[in-house]
Amino acid sequence: MFEQVFASLPEGVATTPPGAALGALLEQVDPRAVSPHDAVILAGAWRRQLSHHEARFALVAREVALADPDRPGGRREGYTEFSTDELRVVLSESRTRVSKLLGQADTAIAAIPELWAAWDAGRIDTDRVRLCVTWTSSLSAEHARAVVLAVLPEAPRLTLSGLVERLQQVATGLDPGWAAKLYDNARRQRRVRARRTETGTVNLSGLDLPLDAGALSTAHVETLALRAKAAGHPGLIDTVRADIYLALLSPRPAGWDDDALVAHVVAHADPTDPRGRRAPQHVGAHGPRPGGDTRPTDRDPGPGPGPGQPEPDEPEAGEPEAGEPEAGQPEAGQPEPDEPEAGQPEPDEPEAGEPEAGEPEAGEPAVAGPRPTMSRRARIEMRIGLLTLLGYDEKPGIMPGYGVIHSVFARGFARQLCHAEWRVAVTDDHGHLLAALVTRRRPTGYRTTPERRRPAARPVLELHITEQELTRSMREPGMWAPVLDDLRAQFRAWTGPPDSPAEARRRFPSAALARWIRSRDRTCVFPPCRASSLVTDIDHTRAVTDRGQTLEDNLDPLCGHDHLLKHEGGWRLEQPAPGHFVWTSPTGHSYPRPPRPVTPDIPEPGRYRHRSSTNPPELAGDAPLWTNDPYPAGPPAGRPTTRPPPRTTGRNEPEDDDPPPF
C-alpha cells in the first residue's frame, strides 16, 4: 500500500453562493487532483455555478429579444415576429429552438420570478426549470403560478420524472375539473397511427387510449410474453412482447385462447433473433412467495454465467434462494402468504354464504382452466384516498408507472378492480403509516363476473385514510358500509406490525410484515429512486448472516439495481429508526432518506379567473392510418405550446426509476 496525496479544496467551495466568488474558487481546482471525497463536493459546486450561468444567459437572451434601439430605454415591452432573428444568428439556432429558449426565459423571469430566483441561486437546474415551464404551459397564468410555487421548495430533491409527477399532482389537485375534462377530451381523440421507419420496418402505435383499458392491455401483453419466455421462446423479452402484440392483433383461428396464442408464438420464434437471457423459472407458480415476493428471476435476469462460473443469483450452499420458502414454509400451489394458516380465522373473511370478491355468484359458472402466471412486472397498482372513492373530495391518485390519475377516473377504475387485493393504509394526521390492513369486502354493486383471464399478478388497489377519518362518524354511502365496518373492526384489533420472536427468526418476512414495509416506505429506499415498493425486493438492512432479524426496523424495499448496489457496489445502508435510512457511499458521503408520507400533500382546489386549456395536442380525424410520424410534431415554431408533446423514444429524456411496464 502507498499513501496518496491529494490537492485540497479551497475553503468555502461547498458553501459559497454561485457567482463570481465561487467561480474564482472553482477555477483554482484541478478535479483530477482532488480526493474522491472532495470530487463529490466539487461536482455539487460546479452544478450550482452552471445553473447560475444558465439563468443569467436566459436573462441576457430575453433582453436581446426585447432590444429595440428606436424605443425609450432601448427595449420594447413584448416580443414581435422578428424578435428571435438576431439570436438565431448569434447562436446558430433555428427559430423553434430560440422560441423555446425565450418562452422558458419569459415564464421564469416575468411570470414566475421566484422560479428564476431559485435558478439564479443554483437551487434548481435548467432541466427542472424547463419541466416547470413545459408541464404548466397548458394552464392559465394563475393556475401555473400556483402549481410552480407549491412544488418549488421540493423540486431540488425530486428526480426529473418525480418532478413531472408532482407538477401533475398539484395541478390536478388545484383544479380537478380541468384534469378530468382534459383527459376526457384527449380520450375522445384516440387513434392508431402507422409509420414506415427509415430501415423499412413499421411502427404501429395507439395514441390517447383510455388509461384503464391501456393498463389492462399492457399487463396482458406482459403476461403472455413472460409465459412465452418460460415456455422456451429464445428471444429477448422485447422481441417476445412484439411477437405477442402482433399475434393479438392478427386474425385468430376459431377456438384460439391465450394458451394457443402463446404456443403459436413460441413455435414460430425467429431463430435469427438475438438470443434472450435465462427464462424466469418461477413463471407458472401460483401466487407470490413468502413476504409477497416472487423469485429474483422475476426481474430481467443478468447475462448467463461464463463456463464454470456459478449463476449470478445462485444461493450459497445450504441457503434457500431469495424468495423461496424455508423448510416448513408453503410451496407454490399452497395457500398464498396472505391466507390464514389452517384453523386460524381471517379477520376480513366474508360472511357465511357470501362469495369472495371476484368469485362467481351463486349459480354462475366457475372459471375453468389453470390459474394465471405470476409476474410483478405485469402487476397493476392504483393508490387513491378512500374518501375520494366515497366522493368526499376530488384529490388525485397515482398509478405507479403510469402517473397521476384524476378522481373521476379512479372511481371508475376501482369498479374494474374488484378482484384486486384491496390494501388500506391508515395514517396519522401527517400522513405516516399507523396500520396496514387488507379487506375482502367490496361495496354493494361493485361485484362483477370475473374475467376468464386476469393479469398474471393480482392487481393492488391501495386506499389511504387517516385514523380520525376512519373512526369518526360520517355519512358514508350505504354501499360502502360493509367495507368501512370491516376496516374499523380490523383497526381496533390492530396491534402493530408482526414482531413476535418467531417472526424475527424467519428468513423471509410474512405477508403481513411485507405489506407493512411496502406501505411504509412507498418506494425503493435509495434516495432518488422512485420504483414502487410493490416491485422491489424486501431486503434485510443488517444481513441475516450478521444476526439481523426479520422485523420492521431491519427491513427495507430495494429495487434490483439498488439491491446490488448495497451488496456489491460498496454502499452501506443503515436504519437508525424504523423507516429512517442513511446510505453511505464508497467516497464516505452520507445521504439520509427520511420517511415518506403515505398520503401526498395535495392543495385544496383553487378558483381562477381564467380556465386552463383542455384542448388535446392532436385531433382524431378521417385521415388514413398511414402517417409520416405516429407522434405529433408540436405547434408551429414561435407559438406557445398548449401541452407538452408526448415522449417519443426517451432517447433524450432522463431515465425513469418507475417506468411503465415496458
Asked which of 566, 584, 602 is the last residue of a domain, the reply is 584
Are 491 and 454 in contact by the 8 Å Cβ rule? The answer is no
pLDDT tens figures, 507-522: 999 999 999 999 999 9
Which residues form the domain of 465? 379-493
Q: Is residue 278 part of a domain?
A: yes
pLDDT given at position 256: 87
Are 587 and 39 in contact by the 8 Å Cβ rule? The answer is yes
Residues 88 and 148 in one domain: yes
Residues 52 and 86 in one domain: yes
Closest CA to 514 of 528, 527, 503, 526: 503
Closest CA to 392 of 114, 176, 106: 176
Residues 520 and 390 in one domain: no
Q: Is residue 14 part of a domain?
A: no
Residues 38 and 162 in one domain: yes
pLDDT tens figures, 418-465: 989 999 999 999 999 999 999 999 998 886 555 555 545 789 999 999
13 or 343, higher pLDDT: 13
Residues 159 and 223 in one domain: no
Residues 470 and 515 in one domain: no
pLDDT tens figures, 123-181: 999 999 999 999 999 899 999 999 999 999 999 999 999 999 999 999 999 999 999 99
> Which residues pair with residue 202 across a beta bridge?
196
Say which residue the cell 409509420 belongs to. Answer: 195
Asked which of 584, 606, 626 is the last residue of a domain, the reply is 584
Closest CA to 586 of 573, 575, 572: 572
pLDDT given at position 607: 82
Lowest mean pLDDT among 8-12, 64-68, 171-175, 354-358: 354-358
Asked which of 257, 273, 298 is the last residue of a domain, the reply is 298
pLDDT tens figures, 308-360: 333 333 333 333 333 333 333 333 333 333 333 333 333 333 333 333 333 33
Residues 136 and 223 in one domain: no
Give the burial string for 319-338 (b: 16+ CB within 10 Å, else e): eebbbbbeeebeeeeeeebb
What average pLDDT does range 406-427 have in this prediction?
95
Quickly count: other Cβ atoms within 10 Å of residue 532's Cβ. Answer: 23
Question: Rounded to an integer, what distance in angstroms lies between the CA atom of residue 238 and that of residue 352?
Answer: 46
Contacts of 118 (CB under 8 A, 6+ apart): 124, 152, 155
Q: Is residue 342 part of a domain?
A: no
pLDDT given at position 655: 52
Half-sphere exposure of residue 192, counting CA atoms within 13 Å on the CB side? 5
pLDDT given at position 485: 94
Residues 244 and 261 in one domain: yes
The answer to whether residue 489 scores a pLDDT higher than 90 is yes
Q: Is residue 463 part of a domain?
A: yes
Residues 508 and 486 in one domain: no
Residues 151 and 52 in one domain: yes
pLDDT tens figures, 266-279: 999 999 999 876 54
Lowest mean pLDDT among 334-348, 480-494, 588-602: 334-348
Question: Rounded to an integer, what distance in angstroms lies between the CA atom of residue 94 and that of residue 402?
Answer: 33
The answer to whether residue 291 scores a pLDDT higher than 60 is no
**With bands split at pLDDT 50, 70 and 90, how would you rate the model's confidence at 283?**
very low
Residues 439 and 562 in one domain: no
Q: Is residue 512 part of a domain?
A: yes
Q: Identify the three-state secondary structure at position 554.
A: helix
The Cα angle at residue 443 between residues 210 and 293, in degrees rounded to 5: 70
Are 84 and 627 in contact by the 8 Å Cβ rule? The answer is no
Say which residue the cell 359458472 belongs to. Answer: 365
Question: Rounded to an integer, what distance in angstroms lies between the CA atom of residue 331 and that of residue 349?
Answer: 23
| Cell numbers describing residue 39 | 470530487
Task: Count the domains in the chain.
Answer: 4
Residues 228 and 248 in one domain: yes
281 or 532, higher pLDDT: 532
